[in-house]
Amino acid sequence: MTSSAAGILGATIVTLGCATNPPKPAAPPQAAGPANPLLEPWTGPWGGVPPFGRFKVADLKPALDAAMAENLAEDDRIAKDPAAPTFDNTIAALERAGHALDRVTAVYEIYTSTMNDDEVQAIEREMAPKLAAFNDQIVQNKKLFERIAAVYEKRDGFDLNAEQKRLVWLDYTQFVRAGAKLDEAAKKQLSDLNQRLATLFTSFSQNVLEEGSQMVLLESEADLAGLPPALREAAASAAASRGKTGKWAVINTRSSVDPFLTWSTRRELREKVWRMFTTRGDHGDAHDNNRIIADILALRAQRAKLLGYPTHAHWRLEDSMAKTPERAMALLEAVWKPAVARVREEVADMQAIANAERAGIKIEPWDYRFYAEKVRKAKYDLDQNDVKPYLQLEKLREGMFWVAGELFGLQFKQITDGSIPVYHPDVRVWEVTDTSGKHAGLWFFDPYARPGKNSGAWMNEYRRQSRLEGEVPVIVSNNANFVKGKAGEPILISWDDARTLFHEFGHALHGLNSNVVYPSLAGTSVARDYVEFPSQLLERWVSTRPVLDRFALHYQTGQPVPAELVRKIEKSERFNQGFITVEYLASALIDMKLHLAGEAPIDARKFERETLASLGMPSEIVMRHRTAHFSHVFAGDGYSAGYYSYLWSDTLSADAWEAFLEAGGPYDKAVARRLRDNVFSAGNKVDPADGYRAFRGRDPGIAALMRKRGFPVPSDSAPPSSSAAGK
Ligand SMILES: [Zn+2]
pLDDT at 10 over 50: no
User: pLDDT tens digit string along 59-82?
Assistant: 999 999 999 999 999 999 999 999
Residue 480 C-alpha to ligand 1 middle, in angstroms? 12
How far is ligand 1, taken at its centre, from the CA of residue 547, in Å?
21
10 CA to centre of ligand 1 in angstroms: 24
User: How does pLDDT run across 407-428, given as a tens digit for each residue?
Assistant: 999 999 999 999 999 999 999 9
Among 581, 577, 566, 576, smallest CA distance to 382 is for 566
**Is residue 725 pLDDT above 70, yes or no?**
no
Q: What is the pLDDT, as a whole number, of residue 98?
A: 96
Instruction: Find all residues with CB under 8 Å of 120, minimum gap 6, and list them.
Output: 57, 60, 111, 112, 452
Q: What is the pLDDT of residue 717?
A: 55
CA 481 to ligand 1 center in whole angstroms: 15
Rg (CA), the chain: 25
Residue 30: pLDDT band (50, 70, 90) is very low
**What is residue 487's predicted lDDT score, i.e. its pLDDT?**
81
CB 191 within 8 A of CB 182: no
Distance 258 CA to ligand 1 centre (A): 19
φ/ψ of 413, rounded to 5, equals -135, 120
- Helix then strand then coil, in percent of the chain rounded to 5, is 55, 10, 40
Distance 1 CA to ligand 1 centre (A): 6
Angle at 403 between CA 400 and CA 407, to 5 degrees: 145
Q: d(Cα 378, Cα 604) in Å, to the nearest integer?
A: 40
Report the SS3 class of residue 684: coil
Least confident of 48-52, 145-149, 494-498: 494-498
Nearest to 209 by CA among 2, 418, 484, 19: 19
16 CA from centroid of ligand 1 (Å): 6
pLDDT at 4: 32
- The answer, yes or no, to whether residue 17 has pLDDT greater than 70, is no
Is pLDDT of 106 > 90?
yes
Residues 6+ apart with CB under 8 A from 727: 165, 166, 169, 687
HSE-CB of 232 using CA atoms within 13 angstroms: 12
Cβ atoms within 10 Å of 41's Cβ, excluding its own:
10
The dihedral built from the CA positions of residue 119, 105, 314 and 641, taken in this order, carries a sign that is negative
Residue 621 has phi, psi (to 5 degrees) of -130, 145
Q: Where are the alpha helices (DSSP H) in 381-527?
A: 384-387, 393-408, 495-512
Average pLDDT over residues 330-354: 97
What's the rounded mean pLDDT across residues 460-480?
97
pLDDT-based confidence at residue 184 (cuts at 50, 70, 90): very high
In the predicted model, is pLDDT for residue 11 greater than 50?
A: no
Q: What is the layout of strands, in order, in the sheet containing 439-448? A: 14-17, 458-463, 474-482, 439-448, 428-433, 411-414
Per-residue pLDDT band at 716 (split at 50, 70, 90): low
Predicted pLDDT of residue 321: 94
Q: Look at residue 646 in the predicted model and tell me its pLDDT.
A: 95
Read off φ and ψ for residue 428, nearest 5 degrees.
Answer: -120, 160
Catalytic one among 70, 504, 539, 583? 504
- Which runs of consecutive H residues, i.e. helices, occur in 664-717? 669-675, 688-696, 703-709
Average pLDDT, the chain: 92
State in Å: Cα 243 to ligand 1 middle. 34
Query: Does the pLDDT value for residue 572 go beyond 90?
Result: no
Q: What is the pLDDT of residue 34?
A: 60
Angle subtended by helix axes 365-380 and 254-263, to nearest 10: 60
- What is the structure's pLDDT at 583? 97
The alpha carbon of 641 and the centre of ligand 1 are apart by a number of angstroms equal to 16
Kindly give the distance from the C-alpha atom of residue 564 to the centroid of ligand 1, in angstroms, as a whole number: 31
User: Could you read off the pLDDT of 473-495 as tens digits, one per residue?
Assistant: 999 999 998 888 778 889 999 88
Q: Is 404's pLDDT higher than 60?
A: yes
CA 30 to chain centre: 33
Q: Are 713 and 341 in contact (CB under 8 A)?
A: no
Q: At what angle do helices 60-79 and 99-114 cross, to 10 degrees?
A: 150
Whether 504 sits among the annotated catalytic residues: the reply is yes
In this structure, the chain runs to a length of 727
pLDDT of residue 287: 95
Average pLDDT over residues 573-595: 96
Q: What is the pLDDT of residues 516-562, one digit of tens each?
A: 999 999 999 999 999 999 999 999 999 999 999 999 999 999 999 99
- Is residue 704 over pLDDT 80? yes
What percentage of the chain reaches a pLDDT higher than 90? 85
**Cβ 35 vs Cβ 51: under 8 Å:** no
Residue 633 has pLDDT above 70, yes or no: yes
Q: Of 209, 216, 201, 369, give the one whose Cα is nearest residue 280.
A: 209
pLDDT digits (tens, 9 = 90+) for 81-105: 999 999 999 999 999 999 999 999 9
Q: Is the pTM for the entire model greater than 0.85? A: yes
Q: How many CA atoms lie within 13 A of 250 on its CB side?
A: 25
Rounded CA separation 710/373 (Å): 18
